[in-house]
Chains A and B, each alone.
Chain A
Amino acid sequence: MTPRRAFRLLGTLLLLAFIFCLVPPDGTGTGSGAALAQQSADAQTAATGIAAPKLTAEDYPTIAGVNARVVVWLAAQLHLWFAAFVLAVPIFVFIIEAIGMWSRDRRYDDMAYEFIKISIAAYSLTAVLGGLLVFSLIVFYPHLTQYLGAIFKETMFYYALLFFVESAALYLYYYGWHWLQGGFRKWVHLTIGLLLNAAGTTLMFLANGWLTFMMSPAGIDPSGAFTGDVWTALHNHLWNPINIHRMVANVAYGGSIVGAYAAFKFLSASGAKEKAHYDWMGYTANFIAICALLPLPFAGYYLAAEIYAYSQQMGITLMGGIFAWLFIIQAVLIGTLFLSANYYLWCGMARSEGAARYYPYIKYIAVVLIGAFLVWFTPHTLVLTNEELKALGGPYHKYLGPLGIMPAKNTAVNVMILFTALSFLLYRRANRVVTVPWEKAGNAVQVALFSAGIVNIFFLGIYHGYFTNTVYKVASSIPQVITTLVVIAVSILIDAMMYRGAKEVAPLRWGRVPDRAQYALFLLAVAFTWLMGLMGYIRSGIRQHWHVVGVFRDNSPDAFTPTLGYAANVVSVGTMIFMAMVIFVFWLSQISGVKREPDGYWKEQRA
């Protein structure tokens, strides 16, 4: 068999395995006795439904005084952090590899390989933590696990199978990297990358179905029993909003963790060449993180709006009730992400002497960013002393209060995104001068575009946000987003055309960037991790005393909403554990390249 045939066969087998995993479990057409018996049992279940058990505190096992909620909480969160990372890295590794193939620039291929190398160790940790989560659920919440297992049994089985597909694809993708080089082999390698991403994304969608069912159960009859099929359960109200949000967030998160890895390597590098390589890697990772970060607030807003639409109770708990204060911390962390990303870009201008022309503009960008950021985290309900309450004449601030609601936040975040894009545009221009004759016109169009965009964002935010009813208030966020995206896309397009054939005024020196920029990359990764932990807690916490909202009551001793401080502490401890594990992964990749020859340790072998 020729190698080409072998690859085709392998590709076909992998594809068949993947398709097999996606085939619905109906068993239609199977005439075996066992299948018919199963169908009969299924029909029985469908008739009576799967009733949620009514539990008492005694139904929740206790083991040696271990706090079940905290164990499951931390195991789930750590698993999710690693899972987000290992799902995201192959997405942009695939893209970088494709760019390398298209441009025939080997540096992209080397960088893509290094990215995937980091995710290999993280992949094992994801699986280990997934195992810990499953065992914790079985041990501490057996009835809930059994209930979810009864509803999602098919998807859980396919989940396990897909895990094999994903593992096989990942190992083939990583270990076959240098083997599958050049021509047709490279295409096969890229296809394996695609398969890896398809399997990983499907895995995430399945798991998202389980957790969103707990928030917005579907297929429940008036008596509270589940009578739907697995698709109904999976395709519940919040499934797609979570799918979109997690997909985008994972890419941004993966970019930030890889950026932290590049920063780690940059700071520990000794040679100029090594520094240049990791500087470029850090820049690329940050670029990926920013690209995914830009649409992320909209995906989050869509999710929150859908939660509100599904249940007023959950919506108010989320954004106006007990968790509203955590949203202020969330706002602070999101702002920190934007500030870190911008600071990294500004510091990166040091790579070229040509950037000095743009330094005077940075302070104005900073003023707008900080101004928008202050609006972004201004709370609606203030923490007031009695004296302040008297001075204000009530619990609301007459002028800052209106900044506490979503229209002001949406306006602020759109402005922050636009000015982050502006930082990026200035960075791109740093080492080049335009040669096209229409430079002035091009710049004027860009200025006009940004100005018109900002005016439109303000108009939509102020008019629809404060002078129309809620449905328009929520809906106006969509044209705001579109305005932002159009301004960014068109101005980048104009810029690309203007700078085609541009003259280089000074070379771009990779590696010539201050260490402070690397700490900005660390801050980006830590802020992302903490943010995900806090928001994950909120998403789960809005179920309050329900395992499955309105259907399956949580009667465990932990069925209460902990204080915000306690929750923040648990998430912070989780963040520290995760960051320690990530540093361990970085260190592993560091030592894997070290080769020592100890003197006199090994016996001399005769030739």
Chain B
Amino acid sequence: MMAARRFKIPRLAQAVLTVALIYAAFRVVFDIILGQPIPASLMTMYMFFVVSGVFMVFTFTEESTQELVAPIRALVEDPSKKLVRNIVFLIVPLAAAGLTYMKMLPDFAAPLELRTIHPAPPSSAELYGKRFDLLNLTNPFRKFEKADPEKFQQLVAEGGAVYMANCQYCHGDKLDGKGPYAAALNPTPLNFQDVGTIAQLQESFLFWRIATGGPGLPKEAAPWISSMPVWQQFLSEDEIWKVILFLYDYTGHRPRSWEHE
């Protein structure tokens, strides 16, 4: 009696299926379940290395490699596969040409931009008519956090009031970058709740950015697109420092520092 032959998916098909399944999983999880699609630029990088990984696993032994390339070799060398070969050799260049054509079609979308999210501050800056050493500048009210917590809370509340009167229109009343004006801006205002924004920065950096706004961004990294006002023209020095206290207090982040608490 002949033993029943177990069906085995060819190695090449296994590799292609693995890549396809991983791609589908990314799409389903991020696009549908989480509602946050992976941008095309990142997806290209992800899939490049997924394909590399699959290639590594499928080729680290000689047997597996031979099994993987056997259908490709047969397609090119086997005389009995002439029809399939001709079809593939027609489809591949046509697909490449089609892809090139689609890529070259004029597009009305704005070009992609590499946006630098944290502009580097100068070592010192001219603010309120005097020079501030940004490397050593500290928040004058931060000391009250431990020395006088009641006073500190009062300062935070004052900072909150200034924020609500001036900043929330863009940065949102939850500090999540979703203020009423946010939708009209590109790039959208910063989300302070994100761990990658104010939690990464020293308070002196925030002071400089708020005080000088969009026009104060460094020329080394021009051109900048920011509609942030020059707040030193509208707020006092103390008001900015209090707003900074509020930003950290509300979000629960701590400013970057080099000292243990």
**Do A and B originate from a single complex?**
yes
Q: Is the CB of B56 within 8 A of A366?
A: yes
Chain A: minimal CB distance from B54 (Å) = 8
Chain A: minimal CB distance from B151 (Å) = 21
Complex: A314 Cα to B112 Cα, angstroms: 26
Complex: A377 Cα to B45 Cα, angstroms: 9
B186 at the interface (CB under 8 A from A): yes
Residues of B within 8 A of A472 (CB): 260
Given contacts A312-B204, A366-B56, A544-B220, contact A385 B258 (CB under 8 A): no
Partner of A383, one of B39, B59, B119, B254: B39
Chain B: minimal CB distance from A465 (Å) = 8
Q: Is the CB of A370 within 8 A of B115?
A: no
Complex: A399 Cα to B195 Cα, angstroms: 11
- Chain B: which residue is nearest A396 at the CB level? B194
Q: Is the CB of A393 within 8 A of B53?
A: no
Q: Is the CB of B200 within 8 A of A313?
A: no
Complex: A313 Cα to B218 Cα, angstroms: 11
Q: Is the CB of B57 within 8 A of A366?
A: yes
Residues of B within 8 A of A366 (CB): 53, 56-57
Complex: A405 Cα to B197 Cα, angstroms: 10
B234 at the interface (CB under 8 A from A): no
Chain B: minimal CB distance from A492 (Å) = 22
Q: Is the CB of B60 within 8 A of A349?
A: yes
A339 at the interface (CB under 8 A from B): yes
B80-129 contacts to A (CB < 8 Å): 109-110, 112-123
Number of B residues near A (Cβ < 8 Å) is 64
Chain A: minimal CB distance from B15 (Å) = 12
Chain A: minimal CB distance from B247 (Å) = 14
Q: Is the CB of B46 within 8 A of A374?
A: yes
Residues of B within 8 A of A343 (CB): 56, 60
Q: Is the CB of B135 within 8 A of A311?
A: yes
B1-56 contacts to A (CB < 8 Å): 30, 34, 36-42, 45-46, 49-50, 52-53, 56
Contact bitstring A460-481, B, C-beta under 8 A = 1, else 0: 0000001011111000000000
Residues of B within 8 A of A335 (CB): 49
Main secondary structure of the interface of A (DSSP, over half): helix
Partner of A316, one of B30, B118, B195, B257: B118
A363 at the interface (CB under 8 A from B): yes
Complex: A385 Cα to B258 Cα, angstroms: 37
B261 at the interface (CB under 8 A from A): yes
Complex: A274 Cα to B260 Cα, angstroms: 59
Q: Is the CB of A381 within 8 A of B191?
A: no
B148 at the interface (CB under 8 A from A): no
Q: Which of B38, B39, B199, B202 has the most CB of A within 10 A?
A: B39
Q: Is the CB of B196 within 8 A of A386?
A: no
Given contacts A335-B49, A374-B46, A379-B42, contact A322 B221 (CB under 8 A): yes
Chain A: minimal CB distance from B119 (Å) = 6
Q: Is the CB of B254 within 8 A of A469?
A: yes
Complex: A315 Cα to B189 Cα, angstroms: 23
Contact bitstring B185-218, A, C-beta under 8 A = 1, else 0: 0111001001110011110110000000000000
Q: Is the CB of B40 within 8 A of A385?
A: yes
B229-252 contacts to A (CB < 8 Å): none
Q: Is the CB of A312 within 8 A of B134?
A: yes
Contact bitstring B160-179, A, C-beta under 8 A = 1, else 0: 00000000000000000110
Q: Is the CB of A347 within 8 A of B60?
A: yes
Residues of B within 8 A of A258 (CB): none
Q: Is the CB of A396 within 8 A of B59?
A: no
- Chain B: which residue is nearest A516 at the CB level? B59
Given contacts A321-B116, A321-B221, A387-B109, contact A374 B49 (CB under 8 A): yes
Complex: A377 Cα to B47 Cα, angstroms: 13
Q: Is the CB of A322 within 8 A of B37?
A: no
A35 at the interface (CB under 8 A from B): no
A448-467 contacts to B (CB < 8 Å): 466
A309 at the interface (CB under 8 A from B): yes
Q: Is the CB of A316 within 8 A of B59?
A: no
Contact bitstring A397-416, B, C-beta under 8 A = 1, else 0: 11111101100000000000
Given contacts A471-B259, A514-B65, contact A324 B116 (CB under 8 A): yes
Chain A: minimal CB distance from B210 (Å) = 16
Residues of B within 8 A of A359 (CB): 61
Complex: A265 Cα to B50 Cα, angstroms: 31
A493 at the interface (CB under 8 A from B): no
Residues of B within 8 A of A92 (CB): none
- Chain A: which residue is nearest B199 at the CB level? A470
Q: Is the CB of B37 within 8 A of A316?
A: no
Residues of B within 8 A of A471 (CB): 256-261
A392 at the interface (CB under 8 A from B): yes
Residues of A within 8 A of B123 (CB): 311, 313, 550
Chain A: minimal CB distance from B39 (Å) = 5
Residues of A within 8 A of B42 (CB): 378-379, 382-383, 400
A201 at the interface (CB under 8 A from B): no
Residues of B within 8 A of A160 (CB): none
Residues of A within 8 A of B188 (CB): 389, 393-395
Given contacts A320-B117, A350-B61, A389-B186, contact A383 B257 (CB under 8 A): no
A150 at the interface (CB under 8 A from B): no
Contact bitstring B57-75, A, C-beta under 8 A = 1, else 0: 1011110010000000000
Residues of A within 8 A of B109 (CB): 385-387
Complex: A398 Cα to B178 Cα, angstroms: 14
Chain A: minimal CB distance from B18 (Å) = 10
A332 at the interface (CB under 8 A from B): yes
- Chain A: which residue is nearest B256 at the CB level? A470
Given contacts A339-B52, A370-B53, A395-B187, contact A405 B200 (CB under 8 A): yes
- Chain B: which residue is nearest A332 at the CB level? B45
Q: Is the CB of A545 within 8 A of B62?
A: no
A547 at the interface (CB under 8 A from B): no
Given contacts A373-B49, A385-B109, A470-B254, contact A399 B39 (CB under 8 A): no
- Chain A: which residue is nearest B205 at the CB level? A312
Complex: A398 Cα to B39 Cα, angstroms: 12
A564 at the interface (CB under 8 A from B): yes
Q: Is the CB of B202 within 8 A of A312?
A: yes
Partner of A309, one of B60, B253, B258: B258
Complex: A342 Cα to B194 Cα, angstroms: 35
Complex: A470 Cα to B191 Cα, angstroms: 18
A301-328 contacts to B (CB < 8 Å): 309, 311-314, 316-317, 320-322, 324-325
Complex: A383 Cα to B115 Cα, angstroms: 8
A-B contacts, 16 of them at CB < 8 A, read A313-B134, A335-B49, A349-B61, A370-B52, A373-B49, A374-B46, A382-B42, A383-B112, A387-B109, A389-B187, A398-B34, A469-B253, A469-B254, A470-B199, A471-B260, A544-B220
* Interface of B toward A, CB cutoff 8 Å: 30, 34, 36-42, 45-46, 49-50, 52-53, 56-57, 59-62, 65, 109-110, 112-123, 134-135, 177-178, 186-188, 191, 194-196, 199-202, 204-205, 220-221, 253-261
Given contacts A516-B65, A561-B220, 14 further A-B contacts (CB under 8 A): A311-B123, A316-B118, A316-B201, A391-B36, A394-B177, A395-B115, A395-B187, A397-B36, A399-B36, A400-B38, A402-B195, A469-B199, A470-B257, A471-B257
Q: Which 9 A-B pairs have the closest CB atoms?
A: A469-B254, A320-B118, A370-B53, A317-B120, A346-B60, A470-B256, A383-B41, A321-B120, A381-B117
